[in-house]
Amino acid sequence: MNITLDNAGKRFNRDWIFRSLSYRFETGKAYAIIGNNGSGKSTLLQSIGGATELSEGALSWQTATDNSNTTISQEHIHRYLSIVAPYLEVIEEMTAREFLDFHSSFKPLLSDFTTQQVLEAVQLKNAAAKQIRYFSSGMKQRIKLAQGLFTDVPVILLDEPCSNMDSAGFELYQSLISRFTRDRLVIVSSNDAEEYGFCREKIDIRDYKNSPANIKKEM
């Protein structure tokens, strides 16, 4: 899966969040969107995922198989990506197992994993039958990581993926990233180097503010 932004911009009222951004994201690579709090990192990530519409410019998603490209419509892009973010809700009345089973009925898990194996991988084995409403904030973030990283999709979007997690949670996250994202396109929105340290390419959203005359940066 490749994603291309062409002279993209997003604004709310008169305030431009980013502008004149041209970039190509390629499968098998990891990218970081960085910047201070409130700079618009999440807005850019949501735009890339098709959840937020651009105010100007163009965005395209293409599969890349056998040297041929197929363009994917915005209507169907959700089938090809998963997102992990602190603001996304989980169904708290469900148990951890029920939640993952329910999610996998819409988007299948990685073929080598059962629901129980996913829970073991994110260290929630003993909480499989526990309602999510009784989870700590760190445990809720782990179930979100389980949903995002173990869904069989080519694109993973991570927005502050270690929110509310302790040092053990950070170590788990880094291990999961190393094991399960190598052949996928990963984009991380964060200002914490521990969350995006594995990304070789970085986009500082502050470089794309306000002026349409900003120099475009392409990689």
Domain boundaries, the chain: 2-208
**What's the topology of domain 2-208?**
Rossmann fold (3.40.50)
Pairing relationship of beta strands 68-72 and 155-159 according to DSSP bridges:
unpaired
Instruction: Share the mean pLDDT of the chain.
Output: 92
The model's pLDDT over 70-79, given as tens digits with 9 standing for 90+, comes to 899 888 999 9
pLDDT one-digit tens code per residue, 163-206: 999 999 999 999 999 999 989 999 999 999 999 999 999 999 99
pLDDT of residue 216: 40
pLDDT-derived band of residue 55, with 50, 70 and 90 as boundaries? Answer: very high
Measured distance CA(62)–CA(11) in Å, rounded: 25
Closest CA to 146 of 126, 129, 123: 123
In a 13 Å sphere around the CA of 145, the CA atoms on its Cβ side amount to 31
The answer to whether residues 50 and 59 touch, using CB atoms and an 8 Å cutoff, is: yes
Mean pLDDT of 136-159: 97
